Amino acid sequence: MAPARTGAWEDRNQENALAKIVVVTSGKGGVGKTTTSASFATGLAMRGHKTAVIDFDVGLRNLDLIMGCERRVVFDFVNVIQGEATLRQALIKDKQHENLYILAASQTRDKDALTADGVGRVLEEMSKEFEYIVCDSPAGIEKGAHLAMYHADEALVVTNPEVSSVRDSDRVLGLLSSKTRKAESGDGRVKEHLVLTRYNPARVAKGEMLSVDDVKEILAIPLLGVVPESQAVLTSSNAGTPVIVDKASDAGLAYDDVVARFLGEERAHRFLTAEKKGLLGRLFGP
């Protein structure tokens, strides 16, 4: 039975509107998917869009840590799927952003606890309440990743500028074009966006990393944003705050650009070239 839609759980303004489901995915682990999911969802909420972000990584559960709500998790995604809790009980409302809700993954269940029917039912219920649902996919191309992307309308494909990461992202693009609801029904295709993370132009110049153009040529999908290699990401994660909230940081500004472009705003790409050093920097810098 669906929860009563009162207070914070109020009806959407648009009659019969359904949420746009966005999966944040990549074949390789450790590329910044959860960091991207947290900042992307927060950025949408900061712009007034009612947004939910779901952690699909059953058994690990990192999203709630980055969102700073780990102590508030009582019920999780699996509890809702198995009928042990209602969606209203499991969703955690963010303390800083009134339009943002988090659905945590279970740390104690097996990955098989997520079922196709169960995920579909939860997303269908959530689609009546939210404008955007962000699905934080687990690493790899196994069941959890398939379930995270299956219902997606759009995908943020997160990759680092290294060959193995780009190669794995290319495999994910194959799944997005063939193993989703849209692909199976013939209802168009998932709209793909490239988010290039941990980019360091100085290392690119030394040949230690692939360039933006290299990655774009290999993956052949539109570039949504480049997030520079930044200490601010680790600092924000440790503080339980999505880095997009830190507008003084380069990574925070980069994620703000990502959200703005996703919503249709035209912004020039930043952080693509190394800063030129002054005389003292050239004399005494590395």
Which residues are documented as binding site for ATP?
28-35
Known binding residues are 28-35
- Burial (Cβ within 10 Å: 0-12, 13-18, ≥19) of residue 60: middle
Q: What does each C-alpha distance from 259 to 116, 123, 128 come to in angstroms? A: 29, 22, 22
200-to-36, 158, 195, 203 alpha-carbon distances in Å: 17, 16, 14, 5
CB atoms within 10 A of CB 167: 14
DSSP 38-63: HHHHHHHHHTT--EEEEE--TTT--H
Q: Is the four-CA dihedral 140, 91, 42, 6 of positive or negative sign?
A: positive
Asked whether 75 and 90 are in contact (CB, 8 A), the reply is yes
13: number of Cβ within 10 Å: 8
